[in-house]
Amino acid sequence: MSTICNDEGTFIRAVTIPNADVQGMLTKHNPPTLSKVRVGDFVEILTGPASKYCGTVIEKDSTSKSEEQLTVEVNFPTGRHFLVVADETCVKLLPNLPKNQREFWGI
Protein backbone atom coordinates (compact mmCIF):
# COMPACT_ATOMS: atom_id res chain seq x y z
CA MET A 1 0.00 0.00 0.00
CA SER A 2 1.27 3.46 -0.83
CA THR A 3 0.61 6.54 1.23
CA ILE A 4 0.98 10.28 0.99
CA CYS A 5 2.68 11.83 4.03
CA ASN A 6 3.62 15.34 5.01
CA ASP A 7 7.21 16.57 5.49
CA GLU A 8 7.26 15.20 9.04
CA GLY A 9 6.19 11.72 7.91
CA THR A 10 2.64 11.97 9.23
CA PHE A 11 0.06 9.99 7.27
CA ILE A 12 -2.27 12.12 5.14
CA ARG A 13 -4.07 9.61 2.90
CA ALA A 14 -3.70 6.32 1.09
CA VAL A 15 -3.09 6.19 -2.63
CA THR A 16 -5.69 4.13 -4.45
CA ILE A 17 -5.50 2.64 -7.92
CA PRO A 18 -8.61 1.34 -9.69
CA ASN A 19 -8.78 -2.45 -9.85
CA ALA A 20 -9.18 -2.39 -13.64
CA ASP A 21 -5.80 -0.63 -13.95
CA VAL A 22 -4.13 -3.16 -11.67
CA GLN A 23 -5.62 -6.11 -13.56
CA GLY A 24 -4.44 -4.59 -16.85
CA MET A 25 -0.88 -4.28 -15.54
CA LEU A 26 -0.96 -7.88 -14.29
CA THR A 27 -2.07 -9.25 -17.66
CA LYS A 28 0.64 -7.29 -19.50
CA HIS A 29 3.41 -8.39 -17.11
CA ASN A 30 5.79 -11.02 -18.45
CA PRO A 31 8.04 -12.29 -15.65
CA PRO A 32 11.56 -13.21 -16.74
CA THR A 33 12.11 -16.88 -17.37
CA LEU A 34 14.89 -18.49 -15.41
CA SER A 35 17.50 -20.31 -17.37
CA LYS A 36 17.67 -23.93 -16.46
CA VAL A 37 21.27 -24.46 -15.45
CA ARG A 38 22.42 -28.08 -15.38
CA VAL A 39 25.37 -29.92 -13.92
CA GLY A 40 28.33 -29.50 -16.28
CA ASP A 41 27.26 -26.06 -17.56
CA PHE A 42 29.77 -23.20 -17.60
CA VAL A 43 28.44 -20.14 -15.75
CA GLU A 44 29.45 -16.65 -14.61
CA ILE A 45 28.89 -15.85 -10.93
CA LEU A 46 26.98 -12.57 -10.64
CA THR A 47 27.00 -11.80 -6.89
CA GLY A 48 29.18 -12.01 -3.82
CA PRO A 49 32.96 -12.03 -3.38
CA ALA A 50 33.37 -14.36 -6.38
CA SER A 51 31.33 -12.20 -8.76
CA LYS A 52 32.69 -12.02 -12.31
CA TYR A 53 34.49 -15.38 -11.89
CA CYS A 54 33.38 -18.23 -14.12
CA GLY A 55 33.23 -21.92 -13.40
CA THR A 56 31.53 -25.24 -13.98
CA VAL A 57 28.40 -26.37 -12.12
CA ILE A 58 29.31 -29.59 -10.32
CA GLU A 59 26.21 -30.05 -8.14
CA LYS A 60 22.59 -28.93 -8.10
CA ASP A 61 20.40 -29.30 -5.00
CA SER A 62 16.74 -28.44 -4.55
CA THR A 63 15.99 -26.36 -1.50
CA SER A 64 12.76 -25.64 0.32
CA LYS A 65 12.46 -22.47 -1.81
CA SER A 66 11.71 -22.44 -5.50
CA GLU A 67 15.37 -21.71 -6.33
CA GLU A 68 17.98 -24.38 -6.88
CA GLN A 69 21.25 -24.28 -4.98
CA LEU A 70 24.24 -24.71 -7.29
CA THR A 71 27.81 -25.60 -6.45
CA VAL A 72 30.19 -24.00 -8.94
CA GLU A 73 33.84 -25.02 -9.19
CA VAL A 74 36.18 -22.21 -10.26
CA ASN A 75 39.51 -23.52 -11.60
CA PHE A 76 42.65 -21.41 -11.89
CA PRO A 77 45.50 -22.12 -14.35
CA THR A 78 47.82 -22.77 -11.37
CA GLY A 79 45.81 -25.87 -10.47
CA ARG A 80 44.07 -24.26 -7.50
CA HIS A 81 40.31 -24.17 -7.37
CA PHE A 82 37.51 -23.11 -5.05
CA LEU A 83 33.83 -23.88 -4.70
CA VAL A 84 31.00 -21.34 -4.67
CA VAL A 85 27.47 -22.15 -3.51
CA ALA A 86 24.83 -19.90 -5.06
CA ASP A 87 21.21 -20.07 -6.07
CA GLU A 88 20.29 -20.32 -9.73
CA THR A 89 19.31 -16.65 -9.96
CA CYS A 90 22.86 -15.57 -9.07
CA VAL A 91 24.61 -17.13 -12.07
CA LYS A 92 24.52 -16.45 -15.80
CA LEU A 93 24.72 -19.39 -18.17
CA LEU A 94 27.50 -19.12 -20.76
CA PRO A 95 26.24 -21.56 -23.41
CA ASN A 96 28.05 -22.93 -26.45
CA LEU A 97 31.52 -22.15 -25.14
CA PRO A 98 34.09 -24.81 -26.15
CA LYS A 99 35.80 -26.48 -23.20
CA ASN A 100 39.24 -25.32 -24.34
CA GLN A 101 38.09 -21.67 -24.05
CA ARG A 102 36.61 -21.92 -20.55
CA GLU A 103 38.64 -19.85 -18.13
CA PHE A 104 37.92 -18.49 -14.64
CA TRP A 105 37.86 -14.92 -15.99
CA GLY A 106 35.26 -15.80 -18.62
CA ILE A 107 35.54 -15.92 -22.35
Residue 78 neighbours by CB distance under 10 Å = 6
Residues 6+ apart with CB under 8 A from 99: none
Residue 80's CATH number? 2.30.30
- The whole domain housing 93 covers 42-101
- Tell whether the model's pLDDT for residue 103 goes beyond 90: no
Report the chain's C-alpha Rg in angstroms.
Answer: 21
What is the distance of C-alpha 26 from the center of its chain?
Answer: 22
pTM to 2 decimals?
0.62
Domain-located, residue 24: no
Return the pLDDT at 67.
65
Say how many domains are in the chain.
1
- Give the tens place of pLDDT for each residue, 68-86: 799 999 999 898 999 999 9
